[in-house]
Amino acid sequence: MQNFDYYNPTKIVFGQNRLNELDNLIPQNAKVLVLFGGGSVKRFGTLAKIKSSLGKREVLEFGGIEPNPQFETLLKAVELVRAEKVDFLLAVGGGSVMDGTKFVALAAKQASEHEKILFNGFEPVPVSEALPLGCIVTLPATGSEMNTFGVITYNKQKYPFTTPLVFPKFSVLDPDLTLTLPKEQIANGIADAFIHVIEQYLTQVENAKVQDRFSEGLLKTLIEDGPVTYADNDNIEARKNFMWSATSALNGLIGAGVMQDWSTHMIGHEMTAMFGIAHGRTLAIILPSLLRERKAHKKDKLLQFAERVWDISEGSDEEKINGAIDKTETFFNSLGIVTKLSHYNIGDEEINTLVANMKKMGLTHLSETGDLTLDIVHKILMSAK
Amino acid sequence: MQNFDYYNPTKIVFGQNRLNELDNLIPQNAKVLVLFGGGSVKRFGTLAKIKSSLGKREVLEFGGIEPNPQFETLLKAVELVRAEKVDFLLAVGGGSVMDGTKFVALAAKQASEHEKILFNGFEPVPVSEALPLGCIVTLPATGSEMNTFGVITYNKQKYPFTTPLVFPKFSVLDPDLTLTLPKEQIANGIADAFIHVIEQYLTQVENAKVQDRFSEGLLKTLIEDGPVTYADNDNIEARKNFMWSATSALNGLIGAGVMQDWSTHMIGHEMTAMFGIAHGRTLAIILPSLLRERKAHKKDKLLQFAERVWDISEGSDEEKINGAIDKTETFFNSLGIVTKLSHYNIGDEEINTLVANMKKMGLTHLSETGDLTLDIVHKILMSAK
| In a shared domain, residues B234 and B369 | yes
| In a shared domain, residues B369 and B234 | yes
**Is B285 contained in some domain?**
yes
**Interface contact B14-A7, CB threshold 8 A:** no
Chain B closest-CA separation from residue A2 CA (Å)? 7
> What are the strands, taking DSSP E only, across chain B?
4-14, 32-36, 59-62, 88-93, 133-137, 149-154, 157-162, 170-173
Q: B7 contacts in A (CB within 8 Å)? A: 9-12
**Is B253 contained in some domain?**
yes
Whether chain A has a CB inside 8 Å of the CB on B311: the answer is no
**Interface contact B15-A9, CB threshold 8 A:** no
The chain-wide mean pLDDT, for chain A, equals 96
Reading chain B (385 residues) residue by residue, the pLDDT tens digits are 999 999 999 999 999 999 999 999 999 999 999 999 988 999 999 999 999 999 999 999 999 999 999 999 999 999 999 999 999 999 999 999 999 999 999 999 988 888 899 989 889 999 999 999 999 999 999 999 999 999 999 998 889 999 999 999 999 999 999 999 999 999 999 999 999 999 999 999 899 999 999 999 999 999 999 999 999 999 999 999 999 999 999 999 999 999 999 999 999 999 999 999 999 999 999 999 999 999 999 999 999 999 999 999 999 999 999 999 999 999 999 999 999 999 999 999 999 999 999 999 999 999 999 999 999 999 999 999 9
Output the CA–CA distances (angstroms, integers) from residue B83 to A170, B60, B76, B201, B221, in the order listed: 38, 12, 11, 45, 45
| In a shared domain, residues A360 and A226 | yes
| In a shared domain, residues B170 and B202 | no
Window 5-44 of B: residues touching A by CB (8 A cutoff) are: 5-18
Confidence (pLDDT) at B112? 80
**Is B2 contained in some domain?**
no
Residue environment code for B261-274, b if the CB has 16+ CB neighbours within 10 A, otherwise e: bbbbbbbbbbbbbb
Helices (H) and strands (E) in chain A, counts: 14, 8
Confidence (pLDDT) at A80? 98
- Best B210, B215, B218, B223 member to test A by mutation, with max A CBs in 10 Å, is B210
Whether chain B has a CB inside 8 Å of the CB on A176: the answer is no
| In a shared domain, residues A166 and A191 | no
**Is B3 contained in some domain?**
no
Confidence (pLDDT) at A144? 97
| In a shared domain, residues A193 and A169 | no
Whether chain B has a CB inside 8 Å of the CB on A2: the answer is yes
d(CA A355, CA A352): 5
Q: Specify the DSSP element, H or E, that contains A76.
A: helix A71-84
d(CA B375, CA A114): 68
- Best A176, A210, A229 member to test B by mutation, with max B CBs in 10 Å, is A210
Residue A121 has pLDDT above 90, yes or no: no
| In a shared domain, residues B223 and B303 | yes
Q: A10 contacts in B (CB within 8 Å)? A: 7
**Is A6 contained in some domain?**
no
Q: Is B202 exposed, middle or buried (0-12, 13-18, 19+ CB in 10 A)?
A: buried
Residues in chain A: 385
Nearest residue on chain B to A223, alpha-carbon basis? B209
DSSP type of residue B104: H
CATH code at position B346 = 1.20.1090.10
**Is A1 contained in some domain?**
no
d(CA A132, CA A143): 18
CATH code at position A63 = 3.40.50.1970
**DSSP class per residue in A335-353:** TT----GGGGT--HHHHHH
| In a shared domain, residues A111 and A50 | yes
Q: B17 contacts in A (CB within 8 Å)? A: 3
Q: Which of B194, B129, B175 is nearest to B14 (CA)?
A: B175
Nearest residue on chain A to B247, alpha-carbon basis? A210
d(CA A90, CA A73): 17
Window 245-304 of A: residues touching B by CB (8 A cutoff) are: 245, 248, 253, 256-257
Beta pairing class for A4-14 and B4-14 = antiparallel
- For B363, the domain range is 183-382
Q: Is A300 exposed, middle or buried (0-12, 13-18, 19+ CB in 10 A)?
A: exposed
- SS3 label, residue A271: helix
- Best B6, B170, B211 member to test A by mutation, with max A CBs in 10 Å, is B6
Domains held by chain B: number:
2
| In a shared domain, residues B169 and B201 | no
Which bin fits A259, alpha (ψ -120 to 50), beta or left (φ > 0)? beta
Query: Smallest Cβ distance to A209: which of B2, B207, B224?
Result: B224
Query: What tens digit of pLDDT does each residue of B79-104 get?
Result: 999 999 999 999 999 999 999 999 99
pLDDT (mean) for A80-98: 97
**DSSP class per residue in A143-164:** -GGGSSEEEEEETTEEEEEE-G
Query: Smallest Cβ distance to A13: which of B5, B216, B244?
Result: B5
d(CA B328, CA A126): 51
**Is B6 contained in some domain?**
no
DSSP type of residue B67: S
Both ends of chain A: CA-CA distance in Å? 37
Last residue of a domain, one of A130, A159, A177: A177
Amino acid symbol at B234: D
Last residue of a domain, one of A136, A152, A177: A177
| In a shared domain, residues A192 and A70 | no
Query: What tens digit of pLDDT does each residue of B258-281 get?
Result: 999 999 999 999 999 999 999 999
ipTM exceeds 0.85, yes or no: yes
Q: A216 contacts in B (CB within 8 Å)? A: 213, 217
Query: Smallest Cβ distance to B3: which of A11, A16, A253?
Result: A16
Residue A113 has pLDDT above 90, yes or no: no
Beta bridge partners of B135: B91, B171
d(CA B69, CA B161): 13
Output the CA–CA distances (angstroms, integers) from residue B17 to A35, B46, B350, in the order listed: 44, 11, 47
Query: Smallest Cβ distance to B213: which of A3, A217, A257?
Result: A217
Confidence (pLDDT) at A258? 97
Last residue of a domain, one of B177, B195, B217: B177
d(CA B300, CA A64): 48
**Is B270 contained in some domain?**
yes
Roughly what angle, to the nearest 10 degrees, separates helices B236-248 and B209-231?
Answer: 140
Q: Which of A39, A146, A48, A132 is nearest to A93 (CA)?
A: A39
Confidence (pLDDT) at B134? 98
d(CA A264, CA A381): 11
Beta bridge partners of A150: A161
Chain B closest-CA separation from residue A238 CA (Å)? 8
Whether chain B has a CB inside 8 Å of the CB on A311: the answer is no
Whether chain A has a CB inside 8 Å of the CB on B225: the answer is yes
Q: What does the CA dihedral A88, A91, A95, A101 come to, rounded to 10 degrees?
A: -40
Query: What tens digit of pLDDT does each residue of B214-223 get?
Result: 999 999 999 9
Confidence (pLDDT) at A122? 85
Whether chain A has a CB inside 8 Å of the CB on B360: the answer is no
SS3 for B290-349 is HHHHCCCCCHHHHHHHHHHHCCCCCCCHHHHHHHHHHHHHHHHHHCCCCCCHHHHCCCHH
Query: What tens digit of pLDDT does each residue of B146-164 get?
Result: 999 999 999 988 899 999 9
| In a shared domain, residues A253 and A314 | yes
**Interface contact B12-A8, CB threshold 8 A:** no
Chain B closest-CA separation from residue A182 CA (Å)? 24
Q: Which of B352, B341, B344, B364 is nearest to B289 (CA)?
A: B341
| In a shared domain, residues A274 and A372 | yes
Q: Residues near B367 by Cβ (< 8 Å), separated by ≥ 6?
A: B261, B262, B263, B294, B297
Query: What tens digit of pLDDT does each residue of B186-200 get?
Result: 999 999 999 999 999
Confidence (pLDDT) at A139? 95
Confidence (pLDDT) at B173? 98
d(CA B105, CA B131): 5
